Every structure is written in structure tokens, then in C-alpha cells.
Amino acid sequence: MDTDLHVFHTSRRRFLLSTCGAFGAGLVGAHSQQANDDSGAQVFLAFVEPWTDPSRDMVVSWVSDGAEAVVMEYRAPGAVTWNRVTSRRSRHFPMLPGHHIHSCLIEGLAGDSIYEIRWPGVEQIRKFKTAARGKVKVSFLSDYQNLEFGPGSLLEKFGKVVAAEAPDLMVLVGDYVNDDGRMNEESSRHWFAFLRGMAEYYHTRDGALVPMVALTGNHEGINAQRNSNALGNGDGTIGQIAEIFSWSYDPQHPLRHCNSAATLSIGTDFFLISLETDHTEKLEEQLDWFSGQLAQNAAKHRHVVVAGHAPAFYGMGKFDFNPISPGRRMRDLIWPAMAAHASKIGFYITGHEHILAITDKLRMDYNPSLSPAENDSRWAVDPQRGVRQLGSGPWGAHVLDVDPQRAGAVSSIDGSTKMLAAMGLDFEKRTLQIHGSGITNDVE
């Protein structure tokens, strides 16, 4: 895969992954839609998501003080005429009195173009940018888990890093505001501030909104005892995220399998498939859909990326996630399902670990007659049928430590370690540490 990998360090203890690939190009024409008139209302913020392909269609969502503020207008670059569209899905902002989310779908857009949007009675004109179909850039961010959203926050600081890279798409890989599935006003206010920060800081140089998709992490659901997040024993319900976002969450989304598991394409050059790794649908029940989508789409696209919140291969210390997380099921079910398409799959991008981790191209030799613990070490380095896992590091959460033993664990198949490199915090020394194949360094 001819994708360059860029790792950005914005401070000694923070890091972020962004990837870029060189792709082909193509354009389609714009079209107009008609809708009925509507009165003005205040628009607090807006955000955009792809529906099927962010270079061709977009779901524009806006948060308004009016339940009836369902009309939006948009126009193509250089166009004089505004096209009117109406919201296809309007709902209350969960638990936030007087706040309503409206979402409209715009199709037939031109790629790599900035469209203007406005609402009746609202003076300000806002913009969004469609994805380019050449030299596509995708930024991956996960684990914000920080309740500072304004000036000086990590949301702002990383926003500058992302904006400087001018991505065509942002893939948010779970865990945002620690709502843990709670439907209360405090969590809603955090979500609102998070969305406002995204609109404020994560845009193009021209101030145009960049499309994003938001996957579910364990902190977007509640546990069975209903006293913590959904790690390991979610009760199957999902929190506010499903009301807020559309891609994979709108029941009418055509490429959705379930909440957080869906696909998108950018032309024929990029294909993203995501999994719900955490709690609302078991990975076993996503397997047929996942395998079918890969079989249908992998050959058609130049680059394929798989995304999900939970890692398959851990390098993190302190916790043993094997018994409670989907790590084993990721390795035993999903990794074999990817093997046939491994040459097309650039990587599995994950969150949750709060460390930056890069594995070798790994194949899993799952053997159902062996115990789960015995299968834990049955990976093998395989350049043909192996898939690399990238852990994106924490966006705003605390950086966790790397466990040299866990990161350096050895395969029972070929004796290899799983991590090429894993970077986290050494809490005792308060330094960054890097572990991996032959690397064990502390970095001041």
C-alpha cells in the first residue's frame, strides 16, 4: 500500500496519527432540491458527515433553538442560486432543553469543493468541504475523554494540528466525553461543547467544516449494572451518540449494519469499514456482514481501512483486558476474516489503549480446540496475509503506560513480538517510553 504514515507530536506527552494516500480523481455535477419555506431560528452549531461517499454526498446537521427550523439552503462554489433542502431527521438534542438537531442529506456534490450553507433568518453563512478524490487525507482521532473544549484545550490544540493537515475526512474512533451512556443534561452539555469545539477548530483554512464519522467506544454505553461504562459487560443500549450522529446511527443509513458498524467509500480509491467492538452488537453477529462487505468492496478500491474502538493486540500495562474486552474476539474472529483481503487492508485503526502502537503485519492462527489463553499468543508475522494494527494514541485523555512484558510478548507460532513500536508514559519516571521489536528506550 503506497500510503505514507505521519506521526505528529504536539507535545512531549501527546501524539496523534494522520495518514495520507495518493489517489485518483473525478468529479460529478451538483443538483438542486426544492423545499417549503420556514421561519428563522438560532443556529448554535453545525457539523457534516458523509452518507455514502464524502466526495459525493453529505449529511449536514445543525443544532437550533427551533423544532420547526427544518429548512437549510446551500449553494455550489460560484453559484448565485441557493438550493433549499429540508431536514430528513429532526430530534431533540438529548436532555438539552430548547435544543434540536436537524439533519439534511445533500447528494450529487462535486468533489474537493467548498459549499456554502445558510438557514432562513440566520445572517451567518457557513461552509463545508467535500472530500477530494485525489491525494486523499484521512485523520484518525480517538479517546478525547477530556471535559475542556474551549480556548487552550487539547481539542483546540489538536484542531490546529488537524486543520494544518487539511484532511478530507476525520474518523473518530470512540470515547469522547465520558457520558458512559448516561442520558442526562450534564453529558448533553459536554456533547454540545465537544461539537461546538469540533466546528470551531477542525475546519479548512477557509473555515469550511470537514466531514467526520464517529464510532462508538466503551464510554458511549453503560454497563449491565448501570454504574459505569460498557467495557466488558455493556447492556446493549447506546447513549447520546446515536441521537447526535447520522453515519451508521440514522436507522435509514443505507450502508449501516448496526450502530457504529458501517462503510463509506471515496470514489473507488478508499474504503472504510467500521466495527462496533464494544457492546451494542456482538462481533459474532457482525462477522457475516463484515466478511461480505470486504468480499464485495476490497477488490474495487485501492485502499481499505478497518476501524474499531477496541484493539486486538494490546501493549498497555496495568490492565489485563483479555478477559473483559473484545480483544480476543477481534483476534479470533475478525483477524482471520481479514486475511484473504490483507493485501488491500492498509491497517486496522483502533483507540482505547491511550498509547501510540504499531504492530507488524500479523496473521492469527486461531485454533478452536485450544483454550482462549493459549490462542492469545497464536499470531504470526505474515507480509501476505497479515494486517497491521495502529493504535491512535489519546486525543485528550491521559496517556497510559506501555507494559514491556505485554508489548514484548512473544508469539507461540513464530517467536515474533507483536509490536513494532509502542509509545506510552512511564508513570514512575514521568517520561515517554517506547517499546517494540528490539526497542526499549525511555525518551525524555
Shortest spacing between CB 219 and Fe ion, in angstroms? 6
Q: Kindly tell me which of 21 and 317 has the beta carbon lying closer to Fe ion.
A: 317
Q: How far is the CB of 225 from Fe ion (least distance, A)?
A: 18
Q: Which of 254, 265, 250 is nearest to 296 (CA)?
A: 265
Residue 352 sits in the site that holds Fe ion (CB under 5 A)? yes
Q: Is 217 in the site for Fe ion (CB under 5 A)?
A: yes
Please report whether residue 57 would count as binding Fe ion according to CB under 5 A: no
Least distance (Å) between residue 129 CB and Fe ion: 29
Part in contact with Fe ion (CB under 5 A); list of ranges 243-251, 333-341, 350-358, 415-423: 350-358
Give the residue from 213, 198, 364, 361 showing the smallest Cα distance to 274. 213
Using CA atoms, how far apart are residues 270 and 297, in angstroms rounded to an integer?
Answer: 10
Nearer to Fe ion, 188 or 218 (CB): 218
Q: Which CB sits closer to Fe ion, 175 or 179?
A: 175
Least gap, CB of 325 to Fe ion (angstroms): 9
Question: Which is closer to Fe ion, CB of 167 or CB of 217?
Answer: 217
Compute the distance between CA of residue 41 and CA of residue 48 in angstroms, rounded to an integer.
Answer: 19
Is 279 near Fe ion (CB under 5 A)?
no
Distance CA(209)–CA(201), nearest Å, equals: 9
395-410 as b/e: b if 16+ CB within 10 A: bbbebbbbbbebbbbe
Give the nearer residue to Fe ion in terms of CB position, either 43 or 173: 173
In whole angstroms, the minimum distance from the beta carbon of 401 to Fe ion comes to: 16
Of the candidate spans 97-105, 248-256, 347-355, 370-378, the one that interacts with Fe ion by CB under 5 A turns out to be 347-355
Q: Which is nearer to Fe ion, 159 or 391 (CB)?
A: 391
If binding is defined by CB under 5 A, does position 66 make contact with Fe ion?
no
Nearer to Fe ion, 327 or 436 (CB): 327
Least spacing, CB of residue 259 vs Fe ion, in Å? 16
Whole-angstrom Cα distance, residue 149 to residue 194? 6
Q: 279 or 301: whose CB is closer to Fe ion?
A: 279
**Are the CB atoms for 311 and 334 separated by under 8 Å?**
no
**DSSP string of 263-289, one letter each residue:** EEEETTTEEEEE---SSSS-HHHHHHH
Answer for which of 218, 240, 286, 433 binds Fe ion (CB under 5 A) is 218
Residues 6+ apart with CB under 8 A from 381: 360, 361, 362, 363, 411, 414, 416
Query: Letter for the amino acid at 97?
Result: P
**Rounded to the nearest whole angstrom, what is the least distance from the CB of residue 309 to Fe ion in the complex?**
6
Give the x-and-dash track for 232-271 against Fe ion (CB under 5 A).
----------------------------------------
In the bound state with Fe ion, the residue whose beta carbon lies nearer, of 237 and 411, is 237
Choose between 19 and 216: whose C-beta lies nearer to Fe ion: 216
Buried b (16+ CB within 10 A) or exposed e, 219-234: bbbbbeeeeebbbbeb
Binding flag, residue 175, Fe ion (CB under 5 A): yes
* 111 contacts 133 by C-beta, under 8 angstroms: yes
Least Å from the CB of residue 8 to Fe ion: 21
Compute the half-sphere exposure of residue 60: CA atoms within 13 Å on the CB side of its CA: 30
Residue nearest to Fe ion (CB): 352
Q: How many CA atoms lie within 13 A of 190 on its CB side?
A: 20
Secondary structure class of 219 (helix, strand, coil): helix
What strand order describes the sheet that includes 256-258?
256-258, 261-266, 270-274, 303-307, 345-350, 389-392, 356-359, 419-426, 431-436, 439-443
| Shortest distance in whole angstroms from residue 349 CB to Fe ion | 14
Size of the site for Fe ion (CB under 5 A): 4
Residues in the chain: 444
Given the rule CB under 5 A, which of 68-76, 173-181, 262-270, 368-376 is the region that contacts Fe ion?
Answer: 173-181
93, three cell numbers: 438534542
* Min dist. Cβ of residue 217 to Fe ion (A): 4
Rounded Cα distance between 279 and 230, Å, is 6
Q: Which range binds Fe ion by CB under 5 A, 170-178, 191-199, 234-242, 365-373? A: 170-178
For Fe ion, the closer of residues 204 and 322 by Cβ is 322
Rounded to a whole number of angstroms, the minimum distance from the CB of residue 331 to Fe ion is 17
Choose one: 40-48, 91-99, 105-113, 167-175; the region binding Fe ion (CB under 5 A). Answer: 167-175
Hey, what amino acid is at 70? Answer: V
Residue 343 and residue 46: Cα distance in Å, rounded?
38
- Does residue 317 interact with Fe ion by CB under 5 A? no
Binding site for Fe ion (CB under 5 A): 175, 217-218, 352
